[in-house]
Chain A
Amino acid sequence: MSPEEEAKNVPLLGVDKLVKRFGGFAAVDGASFHLMPGEVLGLVGPNGSGKTTCINVISGLYPPNAGQVFLEGKPIGGLPSHKLVRLGINRTFQVPQPFLALTVRENVEIAATYGGPDSKADIDAILTSLELDAYRSRAAADLNSAQQKMLDLARALATAPRLLLVDELAAGLHPAELQRVARRLRELAASGIAILVVEHLMGFIGEVTDRVIVLNAGREIFEGTLSQAVRDPQVVSVFLGGSDVH
């Protein structure tokens, strides 16, 4: 294999035997998975299976207790968030976390300015693509919850991420919004961004992901497509509570 081909085969994100404990409880307990550029990976599992903790560790909110996170083969576990952002990792939050007193545009502007040396994001284009352009001068506090989720996404996109971690972006959106978000995520993946999606809405997961990892008690128990997952007896009986998956 030539060096270029080898480089192509290095995953953008590698998670290797990751452990994150809170006191005596291991929220993530040896999870391993990887993600290629342009791929959309779903992270599913029951509540408390460690999905969000995985995202929190990858995005630098907590350092791992053991194991390692790799970006293009380089260890990044334990780096602070702002450094990871400049390396090309960003995320959205389950409960949106905008800068409430600042305007919508300022929310995105901060990320575009500080997000990294290569970040020359077109703020207005990002706002337009997420249908926030009409609110650019309004305070983020004036937005509804769905719009605040889009603002989280806009802030992440303004840092020109190569890896986007999406934590329950779909929850609480109505069907038309869901369609739009799914389409947008597919477009982002098509542009080469790797996306890790944590989600409970299986329809949404089926629509946007190429592959899913099923986590239970902080460990992966299945890897494959969602249609394979829903037929996997272990996944179905233990984690999705039956065969009737929607």
Chain B
Amino acid sequence: MRKAVRHLIFILAPVVVAFAVLPLIYSNHLLLFNFVVFLVLAQGINVIYGFTGYLPFGYVGFFGAGAYGFSLLVLHAHAHPLPALAAGAVAALLLGVILTPLLRLEGAYFAISTLAASEAVVQIISNPNLTEITQGPYGIRLSGVYAPRLAYGMAVAVLAFTIVVVIYLRNSRFGLALQAIRENPISAGMAGVNVVRARVIAWLLSALIAGLIGAVYAWYISVFYPETVFDLGMSIFAIVFALFGGTATIIGPLGGVAILYGVYNGIGIAAPQYFQLIYGALIMLLVLFLPNGILSLLKRRGFNVP
């Protein structure tokens, strides 16, 4: 556990301090907020894919469920944002529980089925017949709760919680059990691991993480359409960022977001006309030469990457 304390001090603390200070010296607060959102989502992917081996293409479904859980409580119960955040978390957890049977599937089948599930949820939410409840395709307009600074602070708090979860997984026997499941679920069972329970816990943890940040996202932007918070692109980004850095580590997904999302925004500003070309080429090169992420360069040299 001494290692875990080191990780808290040298990884968690600097990240939190950086995102607490950055708004004071950098004026594009929306970009900072988006960074935090993707850091959280990439770490959520890390929990369920990096540690446990299940790649959910439809991961954004939990994000959207969180956003709508938050918004519906604010809209209909005029709730304070804080209890509404809890509603977002609960909505994502509920969706996670409903989708638990998908964990019987493996590999591409699991990935595609989560994608289908996420699409199903957005179709239900944007159904015009449900306009009175969900606002249907017309989207959400929250009034009276807009507080971007507070919402940003909450996003950083969710990021801190997420990093603590990953630090725990990296340093605990439970995290090791999840990795055993990722490597070989049958052998994990023969090592005494309750495979069904452990992977459900990991699944719900990752759902909770995405649900919380989805709720904060809804709070921060206050006006959005169903497609905004169920955008498949968010899943893909989170997955690519996590893979780029290196999964089943604490710093991999953090580095992945910092570099790739940084480059993404850099190209978007500096050379928008070549944006797709450069970004696509970058990801192709990554898949070809560093399929296990940039941290694999260090791992190959025998470094024990946190």
User: Which residues of chain B are within 8 angstroms of A109 by Cβ–Cβ distance?
Assistant: 176
* A234 is an interface residue with CB less than 8 A from chain B: no
Please determine whether A156 and B190 come into contact, CB atoms closer than 8 angstroms. yes
Beyond A109-B176, A113-B173, whether A91 also contacts B190 by CB under 8 A is yes
A111 contacts which of B182, B184, B191, B195 (Cβ < 8 Å)? B191
* B183 is an interface residue with CB less than 8 A from chain A: yes
Contact with B along A158-169 (1 / 0, CB 8 A): 110000000000
Task: Give the interface size bracket for B toward A.
Answer: 10 to 19
* A68 is an interface residue with CB less than 8 A from chain B: no
Please determine whether A82 and B184 come into contact, CB atoms closer than 8 angstroms. no
User: Which residues of chain A are within 8 angstroms of B183 by Cβ–Cβ distance?
Assistant: 98-102
Give the contact stretch, choosing among A4-12, A70-78, A114-122, A187-195.
A114-122
Bound complex: CA of A1 vs CA of B34, how far in Å?
77
Across the interface, name the chain A residue whose C-beta is closest to B189.
A81
A99 contacts which of B184, B189, B194, B196 (Cβ < 8 Å)? B184
Contact with A along B183-207 (1 / 0, CB 8 A): 1101111111111100000000000
Across the interface, name the chain A residue whose C-beta is closest to B176.
A110
* B158 is an interface residue with CB less than 8 A from chain A: no
User: Which residues of chain B are within 8 angstroms of A100 by Cβ–Cβ distance?
Assistant: 183-184
Bound complex: CA of A59 vs CA of B184, how far in Å?
16
Please determine whether B190 and A99 come into contact, CB atoms closer than 8 angstroms. no
Shortest CB distance A156–B (Å): 7
Across the interface, name the chain A residue whose C-beta is closest to B179.
A102
Beyond A110-B180, A113-B173, whether A159 also contacts B187 by CB under 8 A is no
* B177 is an interface residue with CB less than 8 A from chain A: yes
Across the interface, name the chain B residue whose C-beta is closest to A119.
B192
Bound complex: CA of A39 vs CA of B244, how far in Å?
53
Please determine whether A82 and B192 come into contact, CB atoms closer than 8 angstroms. yes
Across the interface, name the chain B residue whose C-beta is closest to A86.
B192
Bound complex: CA of A115 vs CA of B193, how far in Å?
7
Contact with B along A74-101 (1 / 0, CB 8 A): 0000001110011000110100011111
8 Å CB contacts to A: which residues of B153-185? 173, 176-177, 179-180, 182-184
Name B residues whose Cβ lies closer than 8 Å to a Cβ of A.
Answer: 173, 176-177, 179-180, 182-184, 186-196
Name A residues whose Cβ lies closer than 8 Å to a Cβ of B.
Answer: 59-61, 80-82, 85-86, 90-91, 93, 97-102, 106, 109-111, 113-116, 119, 152, 155-156, 158-159
